[in-house]
């Protein structure tokens, strides 16, 4: 990897990562309001956030990966692809963490977990009541939901560090997977200065 290419990949990846992080943050915040204010059906509460917070970001990440490769001339080897995509994804993760986990969840919506829990318990209890579930079954399910959301409240420093480390590892693994798909070696008949004619 030449120094010029290295700098170009890092610069483009960082820029696109910041933009990707903003897009993912907007989608995450919209997902929260979708759950708490827009729908009451358990199906919509379950499927909607998956589409908003997983499917759409995946589609955007794929488009950004294509665009990143195009921005450096259309060619990069596996190592270059891993470097660029990891920087882009890691920058996006940091932006989303700052905007959603810190700014939004701590300042704008400090009751974010509680509101999400209320929406979820209302939807689940309504579904169980319609299915003629016993009160004991409903109470047991509500207790399970309560435990799941309690675990998200006031995490310790150790848990936050562990979560951060796991997230970095996950981002790297995803970058490896994306790089395997998006790597594109330069054909021998093209010089280093010639861009990919197909992009």
Mean pLDDT per 10-residue run, the chain (199 residues)? 75 95 95 87 84 92 94 88 95 95 89 84 81 78 79 72 90 95 77 53
Q: Flag whether 191 is in a domain.
A: no
The count of structural domains within the chain is 1
For 164, the domain range is: 3-182
Residue pair 153/117 in contact by the 8 Å Cβ criterion: no
187 inside domain: no
Exposed / middle / buried, residue 171 (Cβ in 10 Å: 0-12, 13-18, 19+): buried
Indicate whether 192 belongs to any domain: no
DSSP state of 189: T
CA 103 to CA 106: how far, in whole Å? Answer: 6
Phi/psi-derived region of residue 75, left when phi > 0, alpha when psi is between -120 and 50, beta in every other case: beta
- 193: in domain: no
Interatomic CA distance for residues 179 and 57, integer angstroms: 17
Question: In this structure, is residue 188 part of a structural domain?
Answer: no
């Amino acid at each position: 990897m030449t120094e010029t290419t290295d700098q170009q990949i890092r610069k483009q990846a960082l820029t696109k990562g910041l933009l990707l992080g903003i897009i993912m943050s907007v989608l995450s915040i919209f997902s929260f309001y979708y759950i708490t204010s827009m729908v009451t059906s358990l199906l919509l509460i379950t499927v909607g956030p998956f589409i908003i917070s997983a499917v759409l970001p995946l589609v955007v990440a794929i488009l950004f990966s294509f665009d990143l490769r195009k921005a450096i001339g259309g060619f990069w080897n596996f190592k270059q692809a891993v470097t660029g995509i990891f920087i882009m994804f890691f920058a996006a993760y940091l932006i989303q963490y700052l905007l959603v986990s810190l700014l939004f969840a701590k300042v704008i919506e400090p009751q974010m977990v509680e509101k999400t829990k209320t929406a979820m318990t209302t939807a689940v209890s309504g579904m169980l009541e319609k299915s003629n579930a016993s009160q004991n079954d409903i109470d047991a399910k509500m207790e399970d939901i309560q435990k799941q959301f309690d675990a998200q409240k006031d995490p310790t420093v150790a848990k936050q560090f562990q979560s951060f480390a796991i997230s970095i590892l996950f981002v790297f693994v995803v970058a490896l997977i994306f790089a395997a798909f998006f790597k594109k070696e330069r054909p021998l008949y093209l010089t280093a200065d010639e861009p990919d004619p197909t992009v």
